[in-house]
Structure 1
Amino acid sequence: MKKAIYPGSFDPLTFGHMDIINRASRIVDELVVGVLNNSAKNSLFSLEERVSMIEEMTKDIPNVTVASFEGLLVEFMNKIDATIIVRGLRAVTDFEYELQIAQANHVQDSNIETIFLTSDLSYSYLSSTIVKEFASYGGDISNFVPERFIERIYKKYENR
């Protein structure tokens, strides 16, 4: 059985993330969306909110589960018996960074492989950072995130 993890902060979940989740779920038997709890980051959404949003969007994909983790990805993968890391690539600059991480993870555990999925062209510019930047100024984010999350995102900036 091929079990993979798609790790990230998903703060917030974007259409680009969903594109990778949908495509990866068709390649592997089981896909775990691993939501990183990074206390060093000042997240817009809490860990619980991010997990909940992903669960809302993936509830109809039978082989996708969502789990949070902290610490080294390789250690979490060993805990859940996953051997594949899925990463999305938008541009050449993503590849340079992701290649280094993939190689380091493989050195840590030679059973771990990383597969890269290039983003759909319509999402090649999209990142959670862009969503937050637009939202912080009240810009239109409807082309970036699922409609059900738009008001939740704007509300976070009202409370700051």
Structure 2
Amino acid sequence: MLTLSAKIGTGTRTMALTYIRSLRNVNLHKEFIRIGGCRTFAVGKKKGGKGGAAGDAPKASKISKEVKARSVVGANILKDGVDPKVLPDSEYPDWLWHLLDKRPALSELRRKDLESLPYDDLKRFVKLDTRARIKENNSVRAKN
């Protein structure tokens, strides 16, 4: 009787270890992890009456307008540092002012004469055209 229970205990233990080892190789889907790992919090009581629109209003900034005009608030990355000062426009490089300029799309570049394009637009055309051709080739070769 003693040997039978020892055998059952050993078999159960090895089966459990085998099961645990097999779980290491299981690939879980992202959706399952997202659902299983979802964390929720209890909703507290609202202060005030119905609606709650007064509590949703954005808070006024505690930083004065003079400080905002003289320094870049929130740009400091150092623990003991201070926010950098705003410099006059002449102190910044010229390329900085053209970063947000709207650049032509690929369809617009295809309509233009390639020999009359400036170098930057020609370079952009080659990059966008290559990207479009690669995407088209990938969609044709993709397994359905």
Q: TM-score, normalised by structure 2?
A: 0.22
Which structure's residues are more often helix, by fraction?
A: 2
Which structure's residues are more often strand, by fraction?
A: 1
Where relative contact order (Cα < 8 A, 6+ residues apart) is larger, the structure is: 1
Q: TM-score, normalised by structure 1?
A: 0.21
Which structure has the bigger radius of gyration?
Answer: 2
